[in-house]
Structure 1
Amino acid sequence: MPRVHQNIPLRTVTATRYVTPFREGGSLPGLVEADDLGMYVLKFRGAGQGIKALVAEIVVGELARRLGFRVPEIVLVDLDPALAKAEPDEEIQDLLDASGGLNLGFDYLPGSFDFNPRVRDPGAELAARLLWLDTLTLNVDRSWRNPNMLLWHREVWLIDHGASLYFHHRWGPGWQPADEYRYDAADHVLLPAAGSVVEADRALRPLVLPALDEVLTLVPDEFLAADPAFDAPADVRAAYRAFFARRVERADAWVRALEDTRAARV
């Protein structure tokens, strides 16, 4: 079973076989087998969302893990574009060709299926904490249309955080975090089930910055060096930390807004 907590660097594996695409994802992730005989859902660096989506996956996924959520193990996957030679689909060939080197993999959870809170109650505490986490990280991709949660071994597992931290697609020289960010929680899949967001905030807010320092070290320098807005990976890490520091500092305001949204829905 994938680990719930992970306080060591991300493992690196080598893809040995491309198995099948997951066509329901906009970035066309695929299932691969690796040299450790594990199976991983692969997110490609050459996909349309680019390397920043992989950075968001690591930062938000590993932060979520340290805040007590279940997240499949995240690994770095070394991909040889030569694997494309065995693929008849031209779109997949192009994606493999464009993704040589380090990519991102997620431990495959066999037998898991999409979690539907209308079928199974997630519990008011879990719902409130996840609503809080997604607001903190500006995750716009946890709606009824696309809940990005799996049920596996009777537990809820979080997946697909590449759409989080949307601000990093628009930053540049001199960037500073804003005091407020646009986030509409009204469409969040767990809003109707959520308990007190104030209680969730009280439990989770003190954990964010201490956990973040460790999480940011997990992002490969190679991924951060690809960001043209900064001169060095250390500068990119400092920018992410500045965002979270400001987000935590301003949490009273967005927690009140979440509570108002929740009260109006209830």
Structure 2
Amino acid sequence: MSYRSSLPRSVQVIRYVTPLREGGSLPAIVEADDEFLYVLKFRGAGQGVKALIAELVAGEIARTLGLRVPEIVFAQLDEAFGRSEPDEEIQDLLRASEGLNLGLHYLAGAITFDPLVNSVEGKLASQIVWLDCLVTNVDRTVRNPNMLIWHKDLWLIDHGAALYFHHAGLNWEEQSRRPFAPVKDHVLLRQATELATVDADFRALLSPARIEEIVAYIPDQWLISESSSESVEETRQVYAQFLNTRIAHSEIFVEEAQHARKALI
């Protein structure tokens, strides 16, 4: 599976279809002006634009690695959108999310991955575990696997909890070289039998140039922070440096994952 090397498409949201009430961020299924349905992640919800940045960056890294992720688009929400929404909670969310949001192509008819029913072969499991260790995604557990089966293929969704270093109080330089301890709870860890091989393959795919390209997708407006003195470009480079450092020292998180797997078996 090849990856694109261009900016994600932009769409205009024209209709709010239905909320998805899993979790606290109230994503929703919406229709856009290209007549497709998307799962919309709102900038006014939960962790705000940082969750959208994590979703975008982790998703595009996954796509680069050949993993299946729904198409990611930038979704514009106009000021007038949602004025007729009767639910006050949803209306407040829509008002707080005016402007640029993030959408993922809606996989109609997809079913939630069930580790008791669905099997994943060792290489694919190792690839997903490696990805989640790189982007520090804490949200791929038995309780909440964030994977779907669609047309008999495994698709990865919901990466908003990744890259948690960017939340207040976490030093990115220190975090970039840390093992990923939450891997012990990863839903696919037991099946991840080919981590060493995957590590070599994926390090070759994720060149510094490709990481720079991905972080360049982050809209400037998502990187503006009243609480930080860093410029937009300085903030963007933090993401690139964090990821490139983790990739260069991937043996740290690979060894952690291997140790955690041995403890399981």
Q: TM bucket by the smaller chain?
A: over 0.9
Within-5 A mapping of 1:237-248: 237-248=236-247
2:145 to 124, 147, 168: 147
Structure 1 residues 171, 241: closer, same or farther in 2, change over 3 A?
farther
Instruction: Say if 1:140 and 1:183, in contact at 8 Å, map to a contact too.
Output: no
Secondary structure in 1 matching 2:17: strand
Query: Which residue of 156, 159, 167 maps to 1:158?
Result: 156
Identity of aligned residues (%): 48
Q: Deviation per CA, 1:156-213, whole angstroms, max 9, x where unpaired? A: 11110010010100258x9634432553211101012211211111111222234211
How far off is 1:4 after superposition? Answer: 6.1
Q: In 1, Cα distance between the equivalents of 2:227 and 2:62?
A: 27
Q: How is 1:38-77 mapped onto 2 (pairs within 5 angstroms)?
A: 38-77=36-75
Matched residues in 2 for 1:227 and 1:75: separation?
Answer: 26
Aligned ranges 1:161-180 → 2 under 5 Å: 161-170=159-168, 176-178=173-175, 179-180=177-178
Task: Specify the alignment match of 1:225 in structure 2.
Answer: 224
Partner of 1:249: 248
1:203 aligns with 2:201: yes
TM-score by length of 1: 0.93
Range with bigger deviation, 111-120 or 158-167: 111-120
Alignment pair present for 1:119 and 2:121: no
Shift of 1:147: 0.4
**In the aligned structure 2, how far is the partner of 1:44 from the partner of 1:152?**
24
Paired residue type of 1:112: A
Q: Distance in 1 between matches of 2:141 and 2:128?
A: 12
For the residue of structure 1 that corresponds to 2:13, the secondary structure is strand
Correspondence 1:16 to 2:27: no
**Uncovered stretches (5+) of structure 2, i.e. residues with no partner:** none
Question: Could you list the per-position Cα deviations for residues 31-89 of structure 1 after superposition, in whole angstroms to 9, with x for gaps in the alignment?
Answer: 11111111110000000211100001111100110011011011111102422222111
The letter for the 1-side match of 2:89 is: E
Any conservation in 2 of the 1:42–1:105 contact (CA below 8 Å)?
A: yes
CA contact (8 A) 1:171 1:229 kept: no
The list of structure 1 runs, each at least 4 consecutive aligned residues, that deviate by more than 3 angstroms after superposition, is 174-178
Structure 1 unaligned segments of length 5 or more: list them.
none
Q: Give TM-score, length-normalised by structure 2.
A: 0.93
Task: Please identify, of 137-146 and 190-199, the stretch whose mean Cα deviation from structure 2 is larger.
Answer: 190-199
* Alignment CA distance shift 1:231-1:139 (3 Å): same
